[in-house]
């Protein structure tokens, strides 16, 4: 969404903020987080970089806002998917495996969310003020709580550990996404020495296995 000179003068601040976020979201559909620059964002939205910084203090602040939006949308879509996949009369192990499968399948369809989660701690939480960081963390706590509520609904055996499971599940998603997207140099190394390919991760297969293991382990600790 590019703002014309006339639109820039007459558009309310909240509309300009929305235009910046929508433009950044469109860029993330084309490129990874690492390639999104403030200069290109400003050019595409039709604002001077100084004007973009009036609404968001940094590139990272824009991307943290988008992470929150994507995370909330993902969580909002999960209840129907979990209800359809998990039978209430199934065993705890079956429900745990189904829970892991649904989380994996749903998040694998959201490349932007995975990319943002993988960059959260190492990139996005840097170059922001304490106020922005605190605001994002409050939203993140709400998002983890929403996922925990879904976990308790389908896996009541978790009890108070549902929050811990949910926070760790989100961390696992970001970590696996990073390792499942090797650099060009690593791909060349795999091609040159097929024995190294054993270290290459398939995102969905690895994530589902790790989430199922996390659910099983957390359930066992809760019951123990």
pLDDT band at 5 (very low <50, low <70, confident <90, very high): very low
Percentage with pLDDT > 90 across the chain: 88
Q: Are 67 and 110 in contact (CB under 8 A)?
A: no
Predicted pLDDT of residue 12: 76
Is a pLDDT exceeding 60 seen at residue 26? yes
Domain architecture of the chain: domains with CATH: 1-56 (1.10.10.60), 58-223 (1.10.357.10)
pLDDT band at 10 (very low <50, low <70, confident <90, very high): low
Q: What is the residue-wise DSSP string for 7-71? A: HHHHS-HHHHHHHHHHHHHHHHHHS-GGG--HHHHHHHHTS-HHHHHHHSSSHHHHHHHHHHHHH
Q: 1 vs 80, which has greater pLDDT?
A: 80
Helices (DSSP H) in the chain: which residue ranges? 5-10, 13-30, 38-45, 49-55, 59-85, 92-108, 111-119, 130-154, 162-179, 184-192, 203-223
Q: What is the mean pLDDT of the chain?
A: 93
pLDDT in tens, 102-119: 999 999 999 999 999 999
Predicted pLDDT of residue 3: 53
pLDDT in tens, 52-75: 999 999 999 999 999 999 999 999
pLDDT in tens, 146-198: 999 999 999 999 999 999 999 999 999 999 999 999 999 999 999 999 999 88
Instruction: Kindly give, in sequence order, each residue whose CB lies less than 8 Å from that of residue 41, ignoring residues fewer than 6 positions away.
Output: 20, 23, 24, 27, 52, 59, 62
Helix (H, G, I), strand (E, B) or coil at 164: helix
């Amino acid at each position: 969404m590019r703002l014309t000179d006339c639109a820039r003068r007459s558009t309310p601040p909240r509309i300009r903020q929305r235009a910046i976020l929508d433009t950044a979201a469109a860029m993330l559909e084309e490129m990874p987080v690492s390639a999104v620059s403030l200069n290109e964002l400003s050019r595409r939205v039709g604002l001077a970089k100084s004007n973009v910084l009036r609404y968001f203090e940094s590139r990272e602040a824009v991307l943290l806002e988008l992470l929150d939006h994507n995370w909330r949308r993902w969580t909002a879509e999960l209840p129907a998917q979990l209800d359809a996949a998990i039978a209430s009369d199934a065993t705890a192990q079956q429900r745990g495996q189904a829970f892991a499968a649904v989380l994996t399948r749903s998040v694998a369809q959201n490349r932007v969310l995975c990319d943002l989660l993988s960059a959260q701690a190492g990139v996005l939480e840097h170059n922001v003020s304490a106020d922005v960081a605190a605001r994002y963390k409050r939203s993140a706590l709400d998002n983890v709580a929403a996922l925990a509520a879904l976990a308790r609904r389908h896996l009541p055996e978790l009890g108070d550990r549902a929050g811990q499971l949910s926070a760790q599940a989100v961390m696992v998603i970001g970590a696996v996404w990073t390792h499942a997207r090797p650099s060009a140099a690593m791909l060349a190394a795999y091609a040159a020495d097929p024995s190294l390919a054993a270290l290459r991760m398939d995102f969905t297969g690895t994530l589902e296995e790790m989430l199922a293991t996390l659910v099983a382990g957390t359930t066992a600790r809760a019951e123990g």
